[in-house]
Amino acid sequence: MMSQKKYMPLSALDNDQLWLFATILFHGQTSREWLTAKSPWGKTKTDLIARSLSDKGILATSTEESLSKGRNPLFYTANPCLGYFLGFTSNIPYDRLVLTDFNGDVVSRGEYPGSLPLSNPLTSLRRNIRRFAQEQQVSLDNIWAIGGHVPGILEDQTGVVKKVLRQPQREELDFKHALEEAFSIPVWMESSRILTCLKEYRFSLLESQKTFVNVHISLDVGLALFINGKSYRGADGFAGEFGHLSVPESQKPCYCGNIGCLVTHLSSWGVCADVQAHLENGTISQIDPRALQGPDYDEGIEHIIDLALQNDKLSINAVEEVGIKLGRALANVITLFNPELLIIHCRFTRAGELFTAPVRQMIRKYSVTQALQKLQIEFVPIVPYTVPQGGAILAMRRLIKQIAAERNIFF
């Protein structure tokens, strides 16, 4: 695949140029001072290489945010015209797609009927990608790599989803190889718990070498553990299946085959089902039961949050219950790993203290106190297209790392 014409601008670089370009890509907008300090060559040679990359149209330079004294540009980014990366999430009830440029900025986005509920999701996703590219008038030849997410249990070595969310009849799903065959573009698959992190924190946090935990709660529930800035994946790549920790006393069946998994209590569909059961038992509430029946359970959650903020008791209880179960499970994670930062991506963040207070309270109550001394907790709301954008950024990072590794340059 790397022999294709679109990869020529990078294959034509020498090792020093490639190192400098990749360093800028992974760092984001990069100042000349920072780059000089980071490079092994000193100021003159670093400037020379950067200038050769600008001349080739690979780097863009700007002086906007600078205290420039004139001649030399102070900031470097990738030239956005180089090409695109495509990110997708295949979900119920929609597939969401984005195109980003080399700097990870979204150029366009689109939503299409979901592939997962269909009997042939591979055909459907291929069709959606073709349609998206056509509508955006972007040739597939200008898309350098694809990165995506399917909710379920992912084997990261092969990119195969071993258990698809809420589809127990579907044994595994191999979007990676189906898309690579169809489009002749390299494809990488990743969990949403990693992709949200790439989108939000791709530059500052990943390069900081911090020990931190990123949790993502939506249709699925996952946790990524980063130790000294590197993600820890376990022996087979399944570490962080936080959603399948068992909740004591719970008997709810899970799509993974076990009972009482956290995901059946915290996910959008799990919470909608719990609230539905309360309504059926006669609990008085303003909740409209039709909003809870899917297939877009996230909309049901937004409805519950709206009513919780208007003081509907059942809705408040639902939000608090999620906070309590989540906080208690996270207390175990904190006691085990003593992270300095805990990031929680969750729709319920919008409910404010109704959600964050019980999470904090349970963490304080059940963690080993000494592991809390440096801990910062950051609550992030879920914004549509965060995951597919993370997919496109993942594709960029993996592709550049692969090209560099072929020349024995490692990041």
Which stretches of the chain bind Zn ion, using CB under 5 A? 244, 254, 256, 258, 261
Task: For Zn ion, give the closer residue by CB, 221 or 394.
Answer: 221
Output the smallest distance, CB 245 to Zn ion, in A.
9
Q: How far apart are CA 409 and CA 395, in angstroms?
A: 18
Q: Tokens in use for 260?
A: 């009482």
CA 386 to chain centre: 6
Output the smallest distance, CB 263 to Zn ion, in A.
6
Task: For Zn ion, give the closer residue by CB, 303 or 325.
Answer: 325
Q: Are 238 and 155 within 8 A, CB to CB?
A: yes
Residues facing residue 147 across a β-bridge: 87, 188
Sign of CA dihedral 32, 37, 43, 49: negative
Task: For Zn ion, give the closer residue by CB, 46 or 264.
Answer: 264
Number of Cβ within 10 Å of residue 408's Cβ equals: 7
Output the smallest distance, CB 53 to Zn ion, in A.
48
Output the smallest distance, CB 259 to Zn ion, in A.
8
Output the smallest distance, CB 88 to Zn ion, in A.
24
Task: For Zn ion, give the closer residue by CB, 244 or 265.
Answer: 244
Task: For Zn ion, give the closer residue by CB, 256 or 399.
Answer: 256
| SS3 (DSSP) at 410 | coil
Residue 315 parent element (H or E): helix 313-337
Burial of 379 (0-12, 13-18, 19+ CB in 10 A): middle
Task: For Zn ion, give the closer residue by CB, 264 or 356.
Answer: 264
Q: Are 213 and 226 within 8 A, CB to CB?
A: yes
Output the smallest distance, CB 271 to Zn ion, in A.
16
Sign of CA dihedral 328, 329, 330, 336: positive
Residue 52 parent element (H or E): helix 43-55
Q: Is the peptide bond before 381 cis (omega within 30 degrees of 0)?
A: no
Integer distance in angstroms from the first to the last C-alpha of the chain?
22
Output the smallest distance, CB 236 to Zn ion, in A.
16
Q: Tokens in use for 189?
A: 């698959």
Output the smallest distance, CB 254 to Zn ion, in A.
3
Task: For Zn ion, give the closer residue by CB, 254 or 307.
Answer: 254
Task: For Zn ion, give the closer residue by CB, 120 or 258.
Answer: 258
Output the smallest distance, CB 116 to Zn ion, in A.
17
Task: For Zn ion, give the closer residue by CB, 96 or 193.
Answer: 193
Q: How far apart are CA 133 and CA 143, in angstroms?
A: 9
Q: Are 297 and 258 within 8 A, CB to CB?
A: no
> Tokens 């000349």 belong to which residue?
32
380 phi/psi in degrees, rounded to 5? -125, 130
